[in-house]
Amino acid sequence: MEKNTYRLLNIILIESSFKRASNIDFSNKELKNNIDIDINNNVNKNLLIVTVSLNFNTTINSETIISSEIKMAGSFEFSEDNSIPLESFGNINAPAIIFPFIREHLSGLSMKAGIQPILLPPVNFVELAKKEK
């Protein structure tokens, strides 16, 4: 492996659930989407496993009408002398690589549930890492 690199080995789906109410009024102005993202890192020798968990729900007047939990993990091989510190890569770069797969999965689940695709907004993982500190 080249020096100063992280190499993506794979991204896998760990967990996925999706629930929706049978009757949803999407014209309701009180419709609110809530997104929570959690990132966990595990290092074993020269392997970094980053798990990104998404909790998503849509509420109308505090009643949950759509909910989904998705957890995906990416494994990355790395060398000891990287220009990007392991903590930064694990909390910023790796989740930014994994998150588009989560976005695509949720979009596909929502279409299969007979509703318009749920399109998650992009996430600024630099800002998210700052908030976590």
**pLDDT computed for residue 131 by the predictor:** 86
Quick one: tokens of 125? 């993982």
Read off the pTM: 0.91
What pLDDT was estimated at residue 4?
A: 60
pLDDT of residue 1: 46
Residue found by looking up tokens 């800002």 in the block: 127
Token reading at 15: 């967990």
Please report the pLDDT score of residue 124 as a whole number.
95
pLDDT 10s digits, 98-118: 999 999 999 999 999 999 999
Domains of the chain: 6-132 (3.10.420.10)
Ranges of the chain whose pLDDT falls below 50 = 1
What string of H, E and C letters represents the secondary structure of the chain? Answer: CCCCCEEEEEEEEEEEEEEECCCCCCCCCCEEEEEEEEEEEEEECCEEEEEEEEEEEEEECCEEEEEEEEEEEEEEEECCCCCCCHHHHHHHHHHHHHHHHHHHHHHHHHHHCCCCCCCCCCCCHHHHHHHHC
pLDDT of residue 99: 98
Query: Around Cβ 64, how many Cβ atoms within 10 Å?
Result: 13
